[in-house]
């Protein structure tokens, strides 16, 4: 892995959950890391844990919706030979019915999941193309296969991410750069737990972060899309027709996961 994707990897959203799992697995493979995250506590804990494995780690405490986040990132990464970008910083930061919601908050979801993702991918992808090798792993979501109330904007940006990854895969594969959108279903992460989602429903398929990271790295060269956590059939079903029946039926099923009103 280090020959194809090393010696440095950048992980946006690399402080906890799936991002932390990627950091540990890449450190185990000998890659040095640049970890980017908003929260300094989890960021430094993960950095110390992976440093103990013998790799070099640099951290950037940064909100990717801040103006020109790439400028700050380049201050740390310019001069490093970055062979892998993992963009995992796409949590749903605002859930609300669209017409009664705050447009500025919705814009934040767009800026994180689209604008920041494009900025980092454009920069590091261009460098990888020049050197003729590398990998770009964009973490997506099953939410991007179907519209849902309260998270219509989040679902839409995740749909964008998948289609973007497919086109980018076609553009970069002849230059030795692998592109993969790793599609997640329900995953037992700190963010999910903080949201109060019920993950103990009988029959619900819940994945663990380390298993997700393992799948993503194992299938990175098999882009453009890999549906992780045993959710392939669910993704297929969500792509079907008629849309009215599928969308309404999925919404009823999802209601069981939502936290009960206090």
Beta bridge partners of 119: none
- The rounded Cα 126 to chain-centroid distance in angstroms is 20
Task: Give 94-97 contacts, CB < 8 A, sequence gap 24+.
Answer: 94/153, 94/154, 95/150, 95/151, 95/154, 96/150, 97/149, 97/150
pLDDT value at residue 262: 45
Tell me whether residue 145 is one of the annotated catalytic residues: no
HEC readout, 89-103:
CCCCCCCCCCCCCCH
Q: Tell me the Ramachandran region of residue 228: left when phi exceeds 0, alpha when psi lies from -120 to 50, beta otherwise.
A: beta
Q: Is 18 helix (H, G, I), strand (E, B) or coil?
A: helix
pLDDT value at residue 196: 58
The tens-digit pLDDT sequence of the chain (262 residues) is 999 999 999 999 999 999 999 999 999 999 999 999 999 999 999 999 999 999 999 999 999 999 999 999 999 999 999 999 999 997 777 889 999 999 999 999 999 999 999 999 999 999 999 999 999 999 999 999 999 999 999 999 999 999 999 999 999 999 999 999 999 998 877 666 655 566 666 667 889 999 999 999 999 999 999 999 999 999 999 999 999 999 998 888 767 665 554 4
pLDDT value at residue 188: 79
The H-assigned helical ranges of the chain are 2-5, 17-28, 40-51, 69-77, 103-110, 117-131, 152-172, 190-194, 209-218, 232-238, 243-254
* Residue found under tokens 């919706």: 65
pLDDT value at residue 193: 62
Q: Is 210 helix (H, G, I), strand (E, B) or coil?
A: helix
Catalytic residue among 94, 145, 154, 232: 154
pLDDT value at residue 60: 98
162 to 55, 139, 142, 181, 225: CA distances (angstroms): 32, 9, 10, 6, 7
The CA-to-CA distance between both ends of the chain, in Å, stands at 48
Domain coordinates of the chain in residue numbers? 2-254
Report the candidate in 147, 119, 141 with the shortest Cα–Cα distance to residue 185. Answer: 141
pTM comes to 0.92
What phi and psi values does residue 2 have, to the nearest 5 degrees? -65, -30
Q: What is the third-level CATH fold of 2-254?
A: Rossmann fold (3.40.50)
Residue 78 CB coordination number (10 Å) = 10
- The rounded Cα 25 to chain-centroid distance in angstroms is 16
């Amino acid at each position: 892995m280090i020959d194809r994707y090393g010696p440095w990897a950048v992980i946006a959203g690399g402080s906890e959950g799936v991002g932390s799992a990627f950091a540990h697995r890449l450190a185990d493979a000998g890659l040095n890391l640049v970890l980017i995250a908003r929260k300094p506590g989890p960021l430094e804990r993960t950095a110390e844990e992976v440093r103990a494995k013998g790799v070099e780690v640099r951290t950037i405490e940064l909100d990717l919706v801040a103006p020109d986040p790439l400028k700050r990132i380049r201050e740390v990464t310019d001069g490093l030979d970055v062979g892998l970008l993992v963009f995992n910083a796409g949590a749903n930061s605002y859930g609300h019915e669209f017409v009664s919601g705050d447009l500025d908050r919705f814009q934040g979801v767009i800026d994180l999941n689209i604008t920041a993702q494009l900025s980092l991918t454009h920069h590091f992808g261009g460098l990888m193309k020049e050197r003729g090798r590398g990998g770009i792993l964009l973490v997506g979501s099953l939410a991007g296969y179907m519209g849902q109330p309260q998270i219509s904007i989040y679902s839409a940006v995740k749909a964008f991410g998948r289609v973007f990854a497919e086109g980018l895969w076609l553009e970069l594969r002849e230059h030795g750069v692998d592109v993969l959108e790793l599609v997640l279903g329900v995953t037992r992460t700190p963010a999910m737990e903080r949201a109060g989602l019920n993950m103990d429903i009988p029959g619900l398929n819940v994945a663990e972060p380390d298993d997700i990271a393992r799948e993503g790295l194992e299938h990175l060269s098999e882009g453009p899309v890999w549906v992780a956590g045993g959710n392939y059939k669910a993704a297929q079903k969500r792509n079907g027709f008629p849309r009215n029946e599928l969308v309404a039926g999925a919404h009823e099923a999802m209601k069981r996961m939502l936290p009960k009103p206090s």
